[in-house]
Structure 1
C-alpha cells in the first residue's frame, strides 16, 4: 500500500498567509466592508466562497462576492513573481519522496496561483499530484479534499499524514481519518491546532524535517524509535 504525505501550501510550505490577509482586507475595503485583519487571518485556509460567508455572515448579500474574489485575486497576483517559500520546505518534500512517500499538495489555489506557489517551493520533482478545492464539492474543513488527495496517491487513510497550518486543515484531516500535523508558520496558535486534532505541532517545515524520524510520519511507517 502506498503512503501519502499530504501538504497544505499557504502558510505550510510558503510564507504567504499574511499576503492573503492584506489582499482580502484591501478587497473588502474597496467593497465598503470593514473587516479586521485578525478575523481575516483566522479564516485563511477556507475556500473563497466559504471565507466570505464566514467573515460577512452566511446571510450576506452574495451579489458582490465575485467582485470581491476577483479583487483579492488581482491584488495577490501582483506578488506571484516573488512569493516566498518557507525555509527547507523543498528539502522536506524531497526527503519524504526519497523515503517512498507520495507527496500530494492539498490547496484551494487557482491554477495560476498554484503555478506560482510551486515555483516558490521549488520541489516539483518530489510532488506526485495536487488536490484542489475545485475537484470536490466541499473544501476544507470538510474531509473531501483530503479524501480526494488519498485517491490521487492511491493510499488509505491509516497510511497517510496531512501537514497544515490552520484549524481547517486539522479538522479536515481528522474527519478523513488521517493523522494531522500542525505547523505554526501560518500564525495559528499551537493550542488551536491541537484542539482541532493535530497529533503533533512543529514550528515550521525545517523543524519538522529535523524531527522527521520521531514524528507521526515515523509512526505511520512503523519506524518510530528506530
Structure 2
C-alpha cells in the first residue's frame, strides 16, 4: 500500500473502483467465470454472471448456484476464475479516459485512491496497465478487507489508507455493488457505464450522477462531484 498524504488535516479525495471502471475487464471476468462454472459442471448464463461482476467471489457464487449445492467446490471455482482471468493480464487496457481522469484529479489536489478488492497479483497487473503510480495516494487489495462488496469493508480500508473522511470523499465505480457499499459509509458515488451496467440500474442503486465512461466524466469534470470535492 502506498503512503498517505502528508498535508495537514483531512484531505479531500476520490476512491476509484478499478475493474470495469479504470480497466476494461468486466467482460473478461464474465467469460472467465463462465468457463470456471462450466469446468465444474454448472451451466450459468453469461448474462446472469455479468450483472454480478464487481461483487465478491463468494457472494457471486452464492447468487448464481443453488443453496443446496456441494459448497466444497466453491473455492476451486474461484481459483479457476482467477487462473482463467490471469491469461488476460498482459493485454489489460485502461478504459477510455481513465489515465487522464486520474491525473486530472491529482492535479486538482484530490487524494486519489484505488479501492480494489482484487488480489494483489491482479491489482499489480492493473496498475501496470494504468501506469499512474506517481499520482496515487494509496491502493487497497483483497487483503485489506474482511468482506468484499457489497459490504463496505474495502472502501473503509481505502479511506483509512488515504487519510480521508467519508464526508469529504466521493466514489467512482461501474457496478451497483460500488454504489451500495459506498452508501453504507455515507459516500456519494458517480456511476460509469464502462462496465456495461445501465444508467437506470446505477441510479436506482443510488448513484448521484452517471457518465458513459471516464472520458465523459473528464470532459464534464468542472461540473461534477469530483470538482466540488476539489473546490
Instruction: Classify the TM-score, shorter chain.
Output: over 0.9
Answer yes or no: is 1:216 the counterpart of 2:215. Answer: no
Q: Which runs of 4+ in 1 moved over 6 A?
A: none
| Residue in structure 2 matched with residue 8 of structure 1 by the alignment | 17
The SS at the match of 2:189 is strand
2:195 maps to 1:197: no
Q: Output one character per residue of 1:76-103: Cα deviation in whole Å (capped at 9) or x when no partner.
A: 1111111111122111111111111111
In structure 1, list runs of 5 or more residues that go unmatched.
none
1:80 is aligned to 2:89: yes
Structure 1 Cα separation of the partners of residues 132 and 204 of structure 2: 31
SS at match of 2:151: coil
* 1:38 alignment counterpart: 47
Match of 2:169 in 1: 160
Structure 2 segments unaligned to the other structure (5+ residues):
1-9
Separation (CA, whole Å) in 1 of partners of 2:182 and 2:165: 13
Which structure is higher in strand share? 1
**How do 1:12-31 and structure 2 match up within 5 A?**
12-31=21-40
Q: Name the TM-score, length of structure 2 as normaliser.
A: 0.92
Q: 1:58 to 1:162 in 2, by over 3 A?
A: farther
Residue by residue, what CA displacement relative to the aligned partner does 1:2-40 show, whole Å, maximum 9, x if unpaired?
A: 012100011100110000000100010111001010110
d(CA) in 2 for partners of 1:99, 1:193: 26
SS in 1 for 2:27: helix
In 1: Cα distance, 2:77 partner to 2:229 partner? 42
Q: Which residue of 2 aligns with 1:121?
A: 130
Paired residues, what number? 222
The answer to which structure, 1 or 2, has the higher relative contact order (CA under 8 A, 6+ apart) is 2
SS in structure 2 at match of 1:198: coil
> For 2:197, which of 188, 191, 211 is the aligned residue?
188
Q: Does 1:111 align with 2:133?
A: no
Distance 1:79 1:11 in 2: 14
2:103 pairs with 94, 98, 103, which one?
94
Please tell me whether the aligned partners of residues 56 and 150 of structure 2 are also in contact (alpha carbons under 8 angstroms).
Answer: no
Alignment partners' CA distance in 2, 1:57 and 1:200:
35
In structure 2, C-alpha distance between the alignment counterparts of 1:57 and 1:196, rounded to whole Å: 25
Paired residue for 2:61, among 46, 52, 56? 52
Given that 1:4 and 1:103 are in contact with CA atoms closer than 8 Å, whether structure 2 keeps it comes out as yes
- For the residue of structure 1 that corresponds to 2:208, the secondary structure is strand
Q: Determine the C-alpha separation between the residues in 1 that align with 2:189 and 2:132.
A: 22
Separation in 2, partners of 1:24, 1:57:
16
Q: In 2, are the aligned partners of 1:158 and 1:220 still within 8 Å (CA)?
A: no
Q: TM-score normalized by structure 1?
A: 0.94
